[in-house]
């Protein structure tokens, strides 16, 4: 019997984390012994929240899930996975466009490391239109995003956009 710990990673920029992300995290956490949330360091992107703020928000929003580990990384995800004994990537998909893009990424990751598997979790339909970019866009016009982000993120957004 193989007693190897089942580890996976759900990676993204999470600027900010949304209820859609949390839905995927919650569901994926039930499938693995450890689920890492990989916060991407992208030096070419200026986000609304700093890397440290994004990590802290994710930690706050996932504090009730005992098998979550929030990490930051840069470079190729498959390299991080190889170095940390992770063989499964978790990806959330909202639409056909997401599936097409994520399928390309899954094939490329498999090409780069044949031991990497990607699982796709369809988003809960109530969050099928939600993205961090869209949240930031509608906030510029004073929209109410209370039902789309966790309360910790709502407070942080209000502090950032005042």
- Dump pLDDT digits (tens) for 47-84: 899 999 999 999 999 999 999 999 999 999 999 999 99
Q: 47: helix, coil or strand?
A: coil
User: Quick check: 2 pLDDT over 90?
Assistant: no
pLDDT in tens, 94-118: 999 999 999 999 999 999 999 999 9
Catalytic residue among 7, 54, 94, 136: 94
Tokens of 136: 């930031």
Catalytic residue among 4, 30, 45, 140: 45
pLDDT at position 1: 52
pLDDT at position 54: 96
Closest CA to 160 of 60, 70, 54: 54
Mean pLDDT of 134-152: 92
Is 45 among the catalytic positions? Answer: yes
Catalytic residue among 7, 29, 91, 132: 132
Sort residue 73 into left (φ over 0), alpha (ψ -120 to 50) or beta.
beta
Catalytic residue among 21, 54, 91, 136: 21
Query: Using CA atoms, how far apart are residues 30 and 34, in angstroms rounded to an integer?
Result: 9
pLDDT at position 94: 93
Q: What is the mean pLDDT of the chain?
A: 93
Is 114 among the catalytic positions? Answer: no
Please state, for a pLDDT cut of 70, what percent of the chain lies above it. Answer: 98
Q: What band does 9 get if pLDDT is binned at 50, 70 and 90? A: very high
pLDDT at position 46: 77
Could you give the C-alpha distances from 133 to 16, 18, 19, 58, 123, in angstroms and in order? 8, 10, 13, 17, 17
Q: What band does 92 get if pLDDT is binned at 50, 70 and 90? A: very high
């Amino acid at each position: 019997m193989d007693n190897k710990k089942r580890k996976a990673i759900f990676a993204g920029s999470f600027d900010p984390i949304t209820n859609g992300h949390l839905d995927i995290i919650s569901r994926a956490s039930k499938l693995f012994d450890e689920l890492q949330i990989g916060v991407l360091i992208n030096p070419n992107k200026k986000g609304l929240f700093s890397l440290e703020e994004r990590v802290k928000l994710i930690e706050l929003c996932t504090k009730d899930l005992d098998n979550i580990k929030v990490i930051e990384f840069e470079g190729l995800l498959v390299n991080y996975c190889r170095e940390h004994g992770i063989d499964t990537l978790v990806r959330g998909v909202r639409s056909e466009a997401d599936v097409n893009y994520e399928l390309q990424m899954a094939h490329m990751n498999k090409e780069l490391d044949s031991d990497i598997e990607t699982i796709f979790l369809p988003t809960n339909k109530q969050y099928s239109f939600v993205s961090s970019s869209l949240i930031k866009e509608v906030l510029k016009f004073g929209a109410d995003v209370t039902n789309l982000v966790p309360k910790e993120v709502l407070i942080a957004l209000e502090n950032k956009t005042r």
